[in-house]
Structures are given as structure tokens and as C-alpha cells.
Amino acid sequence: MFGILDKGVLRLGNSEIVIEDHGSSVLYRRIDLSANTTVQEMIISKNVELRLTPIYPVFYPRFVTQYMLCLLDKAITLAPGESVDVYASIPIDVAVYAYTPQSFRILDIVPLHSEAKYVLYGSIDSGIVARLCTTSIHISMPPTRLGYAISRLVIRNGIGKIVSVTRILLDASPLRLYYRPGTWEAYTQTIYMNIVSDTIAIISYGTPFVEGVEPIDDPDSLRPPRIYNRTEMLQGY
Amino acid sequence: MLIESILTSISSFFVHYYKYFEAALTIAIGIGVAYVFKKLLIRQFSRIMPMHIARIVTRIVYYTIIAVVILVAAGIVGVNLVGLLVAGSMTSIIIGFGLQPVLSNLFAGIFVISEKILTPGDLVEIDGDMGRVVEVSIMSTTIQRLDGVFVRFPNNKVFTSKILNYSKSPAIRLDFVVSIAYREDAEKAYRVIEQVVNAHPLVLKDPPPEIFVSNLGASGVDILVRVWVPTPVWYDVKRDLLWKIKKAISDAGIEIPFTQIDVWFRNSLRLEGLLCKNE
């Protein structure tokens, strides 16, 4: 479960985390069960607290981009001027954080979706590389499960014609992840998508829509400055 | 009488030295104007070019104004400007010839920096040398080649060379040619390659990979594999993917041909005789 990681064995998808106590330190191992090999092994001193939290799926297999292109499993069609309020299950991975009272650091990323792929959003000259995420859309809030964060998605059609939305570009820097300790529940804040032209939509990031959840500590590569708390989809939605 | 003579001498002093006061005043005002101009220019230039370039350009303008002011002041005090200009022109020509390489590098540097042709961190190929840009200074550009060696190019060389900048695009295309023997099943090879390409996480799904027979070669069928990859990881993917394709092709029992030449002899060879002679 998210929260403090105690010694013992924990299975996460195709991975198994083993933490062995060796007196003055602990031995951390992550085993890939599909290949039956240890893929990560490290010694951690005793006063470091290990914590499991959700993490954006942009760190596995390596950090290439902070953008995620979420392909919706069903298109959302909106009449002019109308808006819809739906929920989306966005794929996430799990991070193992090391905490001391003064600092924190990501020690390991446990991939929960082994088939990571990237796409180019836009053209070769001005597009951006984004992690491809298949996202399921729900009318009501779906049950939470390991490997997915629930997002509340408010889409507004601001133009005078019918539009269909099939994808959403999210930026992991302004996007926040929240978790409920002791469960596998993970959430984002409310995401607003405002369609402003035939090809342009503005994504903005609101506040959390569930209570009693804790935000994750963003890794260095995604830290602010969050000067513009929005993402512009300039090449179609 | 005394007062009159004092006034006369004062007035003659002013008449005599008036031009020097005028020249001094001109220089003082000129320096003030140049200073204000310098402040205004640096504010404007710093918006459109890097600060160190803005400083250099502003300094050039500042000293040019000062030089003009000094020439005007010299004219006021009666210095023969024609002679000075002739001497100055000759000196300028001599200095100009001497500093030609330096000045050409300087102006090329201003152009390279202001046009943002290269920025530190870019992966580029300049004049056949490939590496990452370490520094773009006013006189030269330094890259660190992929083998770790630092190469410094004078800016006029950069300016006149063909530059390939791989970092300007978010993704670049890699091409591989995989050759299979004529007797092998090309469709099977296609499927094997497609599987490897699709399984590689850093090969972009969109633009989609292209795999097709590109040539019926002398020794085998050439299959061209075109994939798009994120620019920062192109080298890693290139190294990894070709190896994985080769391994998958070999594991599938598909023969990768080597160049073969069949030599036909018009008359039959009598090898036995040759062998006996050698023995």
C-alpha cells in the first residue's frame, strides 16, 4: 500500500520488492518476476524511511519527456458551448522514496505498465515527444486500483461547432498526484480542458477533488517554476 | 586704468582660449551623450541578444561616439582634420588588414549568437565533426566530439560551414538496412523485425516505423527499417536496436548473407595436376 514501506516482501504487478533487515542497514531488492532476475539492489542505512508513492509514468524506462499523451478509450463529443464532467483512469507507476527529516530522494521506480511507448505530438519541426498513455473514461468515479490514478476531467467546448475529443496532452510538471496512505488510491487534481479552436485546446490544472489525500513530493526534474499552470494542445485533440 | 587693463587682459584671455573652452565643453557634452546612449542601447540590445554580445556592441558604439566627439573638438581648437583624417584612414586600413581574421570572427560570432544557430548542449555536426556544443563565444565555438575530444572552431568557419543540428528537432529518424538471403522468407523476416521494433520502448509509435524491401541486392534482399526516436536518446536506440534486430533475425533462423561472387571458368580446371605440383 502507499505510504511507509516496511521490511518484508511486497508484490507490485510483475515486480517484487524485498526488504531485508541487516542490523545497521537494510538491503533493498526489486525482482522482475517475468524474467526472475533482480533488477535493482541497494543498501540503505537504517535512519532512512522508505515510502511508496504513485509517480507519473514518465520515468520508465528512462526520463525522456515530461509530457503524457492520454489516448481516450472512447471519444467525447460536445455540442457548441457545452461541457462534460467525467473521470479518467490515468496510468501511473510506483516510486520508492527515501526520506529523512530534511530531504527526500527517489530511489527506484517500479513500472506497472511494462509496454511503455512514446509518440510525437505534432509535427517533426515543432512537435513534442510524449509518453503514450491509454486512458479509460468513466461517467462516474470508477473504483481505484493499483497502477491508475483517477482524474476528474472537465471538458468545455468553447467554439461554435460540434467537437470530438480523443486525446489529452498532460504535463507532469503542473500535474499533481495525490495518494491515500494505506491504500492503492491515487488521484490527480481536477483537469480542465477548454477547446478554443478547431485544433487548439488549453489544459489547466485545478485543485484536488477528493479529501484526506496527500500530495507526492515532486522529483527534481519536475519541480517548479510552474509559471504557466497550463498546457497548450496546439496540434489537435 | 588698472581695472580697464585687467578687463582687457581677461577678455583677450577668453577670446584667445574660448575655443579651448568650447572644445572641452563639446567633449564633456559628447561623453555625456555617449554615456546616455550606451545605457539606452544596452537596455534595447539585451532584449534581442545575449548580454555579453550586447555589451560588446554597445561598447563599440560608445567609443565610436567618443572618437567622433574628439575629432569635432580637435576641429574647434584648429587641428588640421584633413591631415588627421588621412593619417587616420591610412592607420585604419593597415589595422583593418591586420585584424581582418579577428574582425571576421567577431562579426560571425555576433551573427551566430544573435541568430541562435547553436546553443550550448546542442548535438551538432560541423565540418564533419559531430559532438555537443560546449560554448559559443564571440570569437569561437567549442564542441565536445562524441569521442570526448574538444574541438574549437573559429566563428567565421562555423558561419561558412554546413551545420547539422540534431537538437532542433524533437525526434530524428534512424535508418537500418537488413539484408536476408534470397532463399529466406521475406515476410517472416518482416514480422520478426516488426516485432523487435514495436517492442522497443524508445521507438516512437507515431510517426509509425516503416519496414519495406528497398533493394534486390547482389547477395540478398535488402529490407529498410525506418524508425523515429526521441532526439536525446538516438544514439542509445541506434546501438541497441540494430543489435536486437540482428539477434532476432539469427534466432529465427534467417540467414544474413555475405557478399558472394560466383566465378565461372570457360575451360575445366585440372586441379589434380596443380595439387601434385604443389606437393
String of DSSP letters for A139-202: SSPPPP-TTEEEEEEEEEE-SSS-EEEEEEEEETTT--EEE-TTS--EEEEEEEEEE-SSS-EE
| Count of alpha carbons within 13 angstroms of residue A85, beta-carbon side | 4
Q: How far apart are CA B152 and CA B176, in angstroms?
A: 32
Cβ <8 Å between A119 and B206: yes
Cβ <8 Å between B201 and A128: no
Q: In what order do the strands lie in the sheet with B171-180?
A: B171-180, B221-230, B210-216
Class for domain B2-98, per CATH? mainly alpha
Cβ <8 Å between A124 and B233: no
Q: For residue B233, what is the nearest residue in chain A, using CA coordinates?
A: A64
Q: Which of A61, A62, A118 sits opposite B204 (nearest CB)?
A: A118
pLDDT digit string (tens) for B20-68? 888 888 899 999 998 998 888 888 877 777 677 778 788 888 888 888 8
Amino acid residing at A97 = Y
Identify all chain A residues contacting B197, using CB atoms and an 8 Å cutoff: none
Cβ <8 Å between B206 and A65: no
Q: Which of B169, B202, B230 sits opposite A124 (nearest CB)?
A: B169
Residue A149, pLDDT score: 95
CATH match of B171-251 with 3.40.50.720: no
Q: Which of A118, A125, A132 sits opposite B169 (nearest CB)?
A: A125
The domain spans of chain B are 2-98, 116-167, 171-251
The domain spans of chain A are 3-233
Residue B112, pLDDT score: 78
Q: For residue A118, what is the nearest residue in chain B, using CA coordinates?
A: B204
Q: Does this complex have an ipTM over 0.90? A: no
Residue B276 pLDDT > 60: no
Residue B278, pLDDT score: 52
Q: What angle do CA B34, B39, B43 make, to 5 degrees?
A: 140
Residue B273, pLDDT score: 59
With beta carbons less than 8 A apart as the criterion, state whether B108 and B158 touch: yes
Q: Which of A116, A129, A132 sits opposite B230 (nearest CB)?
A: A129
Residue burial B135-159, b: 16+ Cβ < 10 Å; e: rest: ebebebbbbeeeeeeeeebbbbbbb
Question: B118 to chain A, minimum CA–CA distance in Å?
Answer: 16
Average pLDDT, chain B: 85
Cβ <8 Å between B205 and A132: yes
Of 2.30.30.60, 3.30.930.10, 3.40.50.720, 3.30.1240.10, the CATH number of B116-167 is 2.30.30.60
Which parts of chain A register pLDDT below 70?
224-228
